[in-house]
């Protein structure tokens, strides 16, 4: 679909610019390596280009009035990649925070980090905490960065926390419910994603927001992340606007 057609699809589906918008969009930014390989470039160039795309999409999501944007930036499994690639990615993170944090703050964007922090190096942990502290009072788009994140690890930590509370007598087993579990997750206080996008055409969650994705809509564009642009984001919003969300109910009926 051409950029003009994408824009028209978005405008037709959302003529007032906000109708049927997802409140929370989550993105698995996949395909940096493929993008580089298709151009006979090193994988690091794909990651570098991917950061450029990240900047554009964050700005555009804020412009479109999206309330929450969650980006799967680095999974707990990514540590198994070659040491040189991991080192490069950590350097990209450092440069992104140093270069973009002030801009995010000026644009009233609030950063929140989810993922396991135990065991992170002090310099990385400091970067993550700085991003949250500097933007903590902002009231615009909430940019949720999943770093060293794995949904099974998140669920394990939540269940362990509840088990410890039960063993101390603070919680009775019969009091454990979905609300309690959700309150112990890294995403506590955040709405569940309405729309999850995974670029590069792969159609799986890869241990991303397994609990929170229960009623999300999914979209799997074929473009690799470095090629995913503002028009592609608008097309995703238009597709979302055309879907009927039933939450387990019947068509045309509010589900529950």
State the Cα–Cα distance between residues 199 and 201, nearest whole angstrom: 6
154 annotated as ligand-binding: no
Q: Which pair of structure tokens corresponds to residue 77?
A: 């499994």
Other C-beta atoms closer than 10 Å to the C-beta of 212 total: 22
- The residues with which 51 forms a beta bridge, in sequence order, are none
- Biggest CA–CA distance in the chain, Å, is 61
Run of H or E residues at 44: helix 43-63
211 annotated as ligand-binding: no
35 annotated as ligand-binding: yes
Q: Say if residues 228 and 53 touch (Cβ distance below 8 Å).
A: yes
235 annotated as ligand-binding: no
32 annotated as ligand-binding: yes
Rg (CA), the chain: 19
Is 52 annotated in the active site?
no
79 annotated as ligand-binding: yes
- The residues with which 75 forms a beta bridge, in sequence order, are 149
For residue 140, which of 93, 103, 177, 92 has the smallest C-alpha distance? 103
223 annotated as ligand-binding: no
Is 177 annotated in the active site?
no
Q: Which pair of structure tokens corresponds to residue 199?
A: 């670029």
76 annotated as ligand-binding: yes
43 annotated as ligand-binding: yes
State the Cα–Cα distance between residues 205 and 213, nearest whole angstrom: 9
> CA distances (Å), 178 to each of 67, 146, 159, 188, in order?
24, 22, 11, 12
Residue among 30, 186, 194, 234 flagged as catalytic: 30
State the Cα–Cα distance between residues 225 and 49, nearest whole angstrom: 9
34 annotated as ligand-binding: yes
Residue among 8, 78, 153, 229 flagged as catalytic: 78
47 annotated as ligand-binding: yes
- For the annotated binding site for substrate, the residues are 31-35, 43, 47, 75-77, 79, 81, 198, 204-206
- For the annotated binding site for Mg(2+), the residues are 30, 217
Catalytic residue numbers read 30, 78
- For the annotated binding site, the residues are 30-35, 43, 47, 75-77, 79, 81, 198, 204-206, 217
């Amino acid at each position: 679909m051409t950029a003009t057609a994408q824009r028209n699809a978005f405008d037709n589906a959302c003529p007032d610019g906000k109708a049927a918008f997802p409140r929370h969009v989550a993105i698995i930014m996949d395909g940096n390596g493929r993008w580089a390989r298709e151009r006979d470039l090193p994988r690091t160039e794909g990651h570098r280009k991917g950061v450029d795309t990240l900047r554009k999409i964050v700005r555009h999501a804020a412009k479109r009035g999206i309330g929450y944007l969650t980006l799967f930036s680095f999974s707990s499994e990514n540590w198994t990649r070659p040491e040189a690639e991991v080192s490069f990615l950590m350097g990209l993170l450092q440069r992104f925070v140093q270069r973009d944090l002030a801009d995010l703050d000026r644009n009233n964007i609030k950063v929140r980090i989810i993922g396991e922090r135990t065991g992170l190096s002090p310099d990385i942990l400091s970067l993550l905490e700085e991003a949250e502290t500097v933007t903590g009072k902002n009231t615009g788009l909430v940019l949720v960065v999943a770093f060293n994140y794995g949904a099974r690890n998140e669920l394990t930590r939540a269940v362990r926390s509840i088990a410890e509370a039960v063993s101390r007598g603070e919680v009775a087993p019969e009091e454990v419910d979905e609300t309690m579990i959700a309150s112990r997750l890294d995403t506590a206080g955040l709405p569940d994603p309405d729309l999850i996008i995974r670029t590069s055409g792969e159609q799986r969650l890869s241990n991303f927001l397994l609990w929170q994705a229960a009623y999300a809509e999914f979209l799997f564009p074929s473009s690799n992340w470095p090629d995913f642009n503002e028009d592609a984001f608008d097309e995703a919003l238009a597709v979302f606007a055309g879907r009927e969300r039933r939450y387990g109910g019947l068509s045309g009926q509010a589900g529950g």
